[in-house]
């Protein structure tokens, strides 16, 4: 299953609005084929592994990170292919949260005499697709906040900030961008920072959709985000929850919010954030540019608690990641 997870990771960020899935075929204790899902409309991981197999699958075991699908979507059901190929055993990790498939594979495969083991490394397998898991179950995108800030919580994104010269932090941000379907900023960030919001320095299949949330609609026509590769989508004067709902319906499973303070303030005030990724630079800025503005919390209890928090050192910077606690 670890090998199947490694296969699945190859698809991270490339499969929207489908999940990243990996599969490994094993016979006589040896891996005889591997496969991963490369994009919506393309064969599922199980089929990719079968295609890579240069012999019969009869009697073999297939390991898949996600429960094999059982109905027709853009492609035929993998359960059928597994039965036809003659596998004697299926081992999968996460149950498919897609209501069309959820929990149906076990009895379907068992009725053909196939031994099924589920839940192997289930946490890792589900975690890999945590963005997609939310979207497929709710039609709402998974919202990640990324911000670079000083120790006193001020925005640290201006070009001269030391953080931007930290090559590793930069690479990580590109990596994060490459895994989401859309990147969004507020109008003020466009006016002040004029960001490109593209993935650079790595090979990707498609640039994420770029989105601007603005109250005034007052954006400089020369702004980079309004130029190539494709002009940004602009939402003017639309409540944020409605923006997310609309993007979710359009097939955007994940959104990265990159500031500024007003956008993040609104997102946190309305409890629309699922995960945060903060880069802290050892610098005190002071002054009036909070990373997160908005109404804010008046008590600690009202504040948003994070869980599954990790702290990583990157040179002199620190990267803090955590998920918004739903309790
Ligand atoms: C994938 N890749 O390897 C597996 C998936 O429209 P389709 O035919 O591509 O079906 C998409 C659904 O299939 C998806 O929502 C998920 O529930 C299931 N399994 N999907 O994209 C895969 N195994
Ligand atoms: Zn499938």
- The predicted-structure confidence for 133-186, as pLDDT tens digits, reads as follows 999 999 999 999 999 999 999 987 644 444 544 778 888 889 999 999 999 999
> How many angstroms is it from 68 CA to the middle of ligand 2?
5
Model-level pTM? 0.94
H/E stretch holding 130: helix 130-138
> How many angstroms is it from 309 CA to the middle of ligand 2?
33
Does residue 150 share a domain with residue 104? no
Q: What is the number of structural domains in the chain?
A: 2
Quote the ipTM score. Answer: 0.92
Query: In whole angstroms, what is the distance from residue 291 CA to residue 54 CA?
Result: 55
Q: Which of 74, 102, 134 is the last residue of a domain?
A: 134
Does residue 301 share a domain with residue 203? yes
Q: Which of 102, 134, 166 is the last residue of a domain?
A: 134
Given a contact cutoff of 8 angstroms between Cβ atoms, the answer to whether 228 and 199 are in contact is no
Whether ligand 1 lies within 6 angstroms of the CB of 96 is answered as yes
Whether ligand 1 lies within 6 angstroms of the CB of 66 is answered as yes
Using CA atoms of 123, 127, 133, 135 in order, give the dihedral in degrees to the nearest 10: 160
What integer is the mean pLDDT of 300-320?
A: 92
Could you tell me if residue 125 is left (phi over 0), alpha (psi between -120 and 50 degrees) or otherwise beta? alpha
User: Has 7 been annotated as catalytic?
Assistant: no
């Amino acid at each position: 299953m670890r090998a199947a997870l490694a296969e699945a990771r190859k698809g991270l960020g490339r499969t929207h609005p489908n999940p990243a899935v990996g599969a490994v075929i094993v016979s006589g204790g040896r891996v005889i084929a591997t496969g991963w899902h490369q994009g919506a409309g393309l064969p599922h991981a199980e089929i990719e592994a079968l295609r890579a197999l240069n012999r019969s699958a009869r009697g073999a075991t297939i390991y898949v990170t996600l429960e094999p699908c059982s109905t027709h979507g853009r492609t035929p059901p993998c359960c059928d292919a597994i039965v036809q190929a003659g596998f004697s055993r299926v081992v999968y990790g996460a149950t498919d949260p897609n209501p069309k498939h959820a929990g149906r594979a076990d009895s379907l495969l068992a009725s053909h005499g196939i031994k099924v083991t589920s839940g192997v490394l289930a946490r890792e397998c589900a975690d890999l697709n945590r963005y997609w898991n939310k979207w497929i179950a709710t039609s709402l995108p998974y919202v990640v906040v990324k911000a670079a800030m000083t120790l006193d919580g001020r925005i640290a994104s201006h070009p001269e900030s030391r953080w931007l010269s930290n090559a590793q932090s930069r690479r990580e941000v590109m990596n994060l961008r490459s895994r989401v379907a859309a990147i969004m900023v507020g109008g003020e960030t466009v006016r002040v920072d004029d960001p490109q919001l593209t993935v650079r320095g790595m090979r990707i299949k498609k640039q994420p959709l770029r989105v601007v949330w603005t109250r005034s609609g007052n954006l400089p026509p020369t702004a980079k985000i309004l130029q190539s590769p494709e002009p940004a989508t602009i939402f003017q004067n639309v409540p944020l929850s409605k923006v997310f709902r609309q993007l979710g319906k359009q097939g955007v499973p994940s959104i990265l919010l990159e500031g500024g303070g007003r956008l993040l303030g609104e997102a946190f005030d309305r409890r629309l954030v699922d995960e945060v990724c903060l880069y802290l630079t050892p610098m005190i800025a002071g002054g009036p540019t909070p990373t997160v503005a908005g109404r804010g919390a008046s008590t600690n209890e009202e504040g948003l608690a994070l869980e599954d928090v990790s702290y990583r050192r990157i040179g002199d910077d620190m990267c803090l990641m955590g998920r918004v606690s739903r309790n």
